[in-house]
Amino acid sequence: MSRKAVEIGFAIVLFAFGAAIVHGTLELETGWTRSGPEAGYFPFRIGLMIMAAAMIVMAVQATRTAAEGRMLTRRAATNIALFTLPLLGLIVAIPHLGLYVPATLYLLVSIGLVGRVSWATATAAAIGAPVILFILFEFVFRTPLPKGPLGPLLGML
């Protein structure tokens, strides 16, 4: 596939994503009241911006005439796989293990193995980020994130 075809295809997918966001927010109020924005105000506008960005990409690609080489080299495909596979593992693990343990493992793999950062730095980030997320969501935002089986073991409710 040419780069142009892939760009247009992705723009179509992006447009559909934006349209789905807009459609979902139409069940909510999307205006502004005396007390501030209503529930759908920001998501509605974000959906419109995503759709506009997709239309710009489509327009740019539709007017592009220069032929370009291959869309994806073997090295680029390997880098995408190295990024995507741990991310898929994170997504699959969250419903079973909660957010914190999979996020720690994901960051450790992504930073340490994929990013080739020192293990001390990778470990600090892999432990520090979930701890910060826990503090922010549990205590500041008062919105608990999934803890999985680790939560009850540590007395987290």
d(CA 157, CA 119): 32
pLDDT for the residue numbered 36: 85
The amino acid at residue 83 is F
Contact between residue 21 and residue 71 where contact means Cβ atoms under 8 Å apart: no
How would you write the pLDDT of the chain (157 residues) with one tens digit per residue? 678 888 899 999 999 999 999 999 998 888 888 888 888 899 999 999 999 999 999 999 888 876 666 677 888 889 889 989 999 999 999 999 999 999 999 999 999 998 999 999 999 999 999 999 999 988 888 888 888 887 777 665 4
Characterise 47 by phi-psi region: left (phi > 0), alpha (psi -120 to 50), beta (else): alpha
pLDDT for the residue numbered 2: 76
d(CA 126, CA 120): 10
pLDDT for the residue numbered 4: 84
pLDDT for the residue numbered 66: 63
Q: In degrees rounded to 5, what are phi and psi of residue 10?
A: -65, -40
pLDDT for the residue numbered 28: 86
pLDDT for the residue numbered 68: 66
Closest CA to 102 of 152, 148, 39, 52: 148
pLDDT for the residue numbered 33: 86
Closest CA to 122 of 110, 134, 135: 110
